[in-house]
Amino acid sequence: MKSTCIILLILSYISVILAFVPQLATPTWGKTKLFEAPQDDNFDGVNLVRLLGLKRVKKMQRRFKREANAEVARTSKGTAPSPVVAEKKSSLKLIISGAPASGKGTQCEMIKKNFGLVHLSTGDMLRAAVAAKSDVGQAAKDFMDAGKLVPDDVIIGVVKDRLSEKDCMQNGWLLDGFPRTAAQADALAQSGICADCFIFLNVPDEILVERVVGRRTDPETGKIYHMTFSPPEDKAILDRLEQRSDDTEEKVKVRLEQFHTNVEAVKGSYSDISVEIDGTAKPDEVAKEIGVAISSKVTA
Ligand code: AP5
């Protein structure tokens, strides 16, 4: 009995030492480890698998994922956004697509607020490039003025570079207005850039024209208004509102044509992660539907 106790005591000492000195326990051939423990960045080198057992660690990982997903589902049902969601879904990657004036920019303001993602609007990026008279801006200007899509080779590199920056890698991203052609979707896929959810806002053309013509933007905050549906209450804001040069009835026709030529190919590239949302409802209702759609795709 006494010797059994001594053996058990020695064995437990050995297992504690092995748990904290992984090199002693992980057999290697050359440089290749015979088995790899799941990475654990939060425990400063302590090998949890050896300490608690692989089965228990996997169970903990599954529980952690379930709790994170439940939190996303809870916040997307309209309750207040929680910092836990931003923390646990920090790498969420979303694409929002739809016709001109379907409400992409309006919804992005809300999604960004709820999920803390980096919002990348290719329209905004190109307008900034035009204003700065950069090479990209000069290459894009005439196409934008005509309501046409800028060439793929002008925009693809800009987006790929931006997505590889630190803030996008750390916080996740929300791509607004890209990809718009099959070539742009292929370029993302070939670079290994994948999204979790492709949100498509569905709005009939006749509604879009009215939205385009009435749209105004606050140059100070970037907030989007509509002179009929959502005018600003503050007179100072009203006075400084600007109208985009491509927001005319004539140019929106060209923009819609370009959209209809490409939309099916783009949607086809994301059929497995795609959700179609009725964009004709009120902005808050559209936002709620988007929240539910995101959680359904993320938890799937
Ligand atoms: P871009 O700026 O992306 O324009 P767009 O796709 O035509 O989209 P919009 O910004 O016009 O509309 P939106 O869907 O954001 O609607 P919003 O929320 O503002 O691109 C501009 C140009 O850049 C292109 O034409 C092209 O030349 C170039 N470009 C950009 N990306 C490119 C790419 N990838 N490849 C090649 N070229 C590219 O809403 C519109 C209005 O409706 C607002 O007034 C708003 O208040 C109102 N509204 C919104 N939601 C609702 C609602 N639910 N009910 C009632 N009103 C609403």
Which of 121, 125, 141, 229 gets mutated to test ligand 1 (max ligand atoms within 8 A of its CB)? 229
Per-residue pLDDT tens digits for 235-256: 999 999 999 999 999 999 999 9
Phi first, then psi, for residue 77 (nearest 5°) are -85, 15
Q: Positive or negative, the Cα torsion across 82, 85, 90, 94?
A: negative
Q: Is 255 a catalytic residue?
A: yes
- How many whole angstroms from 25 Cα to the centroid of ligand 1? 58
- How many whole angstroms from 105 Cα to the centroid of ligand 1? 6
For 54-68, 80-94, 253-267, which range has the lowest pLDDT when averaged over its residues?
54-68
d(CA 210, CA 100): 11
Q: Is 149 in the pocket of ligand 1 (CB under 6 A)?
A: yes
Q: Is 123 in the pocket of ligand 1 (CB under 6 A)?
A: yes
Per-residue pLDDT tens digits for 25-41: 333 323 333 233 344 43
**Better-scored residue on pLDDT, 45 or 242:** 242
Superfamily of domain 85-299: P-loop containing nucleotide triphosphate hydrolases (3.40.50.300)
Total Cβ atoms within 10 A of residue 173: 23
Q: What percent of the chain has pLDDT over 90?
A: 66
Q: Where in the chain is the domain with CATH 3.40.50.300?
A: 85-299
Q: Is 244 a catalytic residue?
A: yes
Q: Does residue 21 have a pLDDT over 50?
A: no
Q: Which of the following is catalytic: 50, 127, 255, 297?
A: 255
**Better-scored residue on pLDDT, 299 or 271:** 271
Q: Is the separation of the CB atoms in 76 and 291 below 8 Å? A: yes
Q: Is 180 a catalytic residue?
A: yes
Secondary structure (3-state) at 255: helix
Which of 108, 150, 181 gets mutated to test ligand 1 (max ligand atoms within 8 A of its CB)? 150
Phi first, then psi, for residue 96 (nearest 5°) are -115, 135
Protein residue whose Cα sits closest to atom 40 of ligand 1: 101
Give the pLDDT of residue 25. Answer: 39
Give the pLDDT of residue 38. Answer: 41
- How many whole angstroms from 201 Cα to the centroid of ligand 1? 11
Nearest-10 Cα torsion for 277, 278, 282, 283: 30
Q: Is the separation of the CB atoms in 275 and 297 below 8 Å? A: yes
pLDDT band at 191 (very low <50, low <70, confident <90, very high): very high
> Among 268, 276, 269, which Cα is nearest to 296's?
276
Q: Is the separation of the CB atoms in 225 and 231 below 8 Å? A: yes
Q: Is 283 in the pocket of ligand 1 (CB under 6 A)?
A: yes
Atom of ligand 1 nearest to the CA of 100: 7
Burial 128-165 (b: 16+ CB within 10 A, else e): ebbeeeeebbebbbebbeebebbebebbbebbeebbee
Atom of ligand 1 nearest to the CA of 179: 34
> Among 120, 153, 143, which Cα is nearest to 246's?
143
Q: Tokens for 118, please give them.
A: 């980096």
Q: Which of the following is catalytic: 89, 180, 216, 297?
A: 180
| pTM of the predicted model over 0.85 | no
Q: Is the separation of the CB atoms in 273 and 195 below 8 Å? A: yes
Q: Does residue 24 have a pLDDT over 80?
A: no
Q: Is 101 in the pocket of ligand 1 (CB under 6 A)?
A: yes
Protein residue whose Cα sits closest to atom 34 of ligand 1: 178
For the chain, report the end-to-end CA distance as a whole number of angstroms: 54
Q: Is the separation of the CB atoms in 155 and 178 below 8 Å? A: yes
Nearest-10 Cα torsion for 108, 111, 117, 120: -10
Per-residue pLDDT tens digits for 100-155: 999 999 999 999 988 899 999 999 999 999 999 999 999 999 999 999 999 999 99
Q: Is the separation of the CB atoms in 259 and 179 below 8 Å? A: no
Peptide bond into 151 cis (omega under 30): no
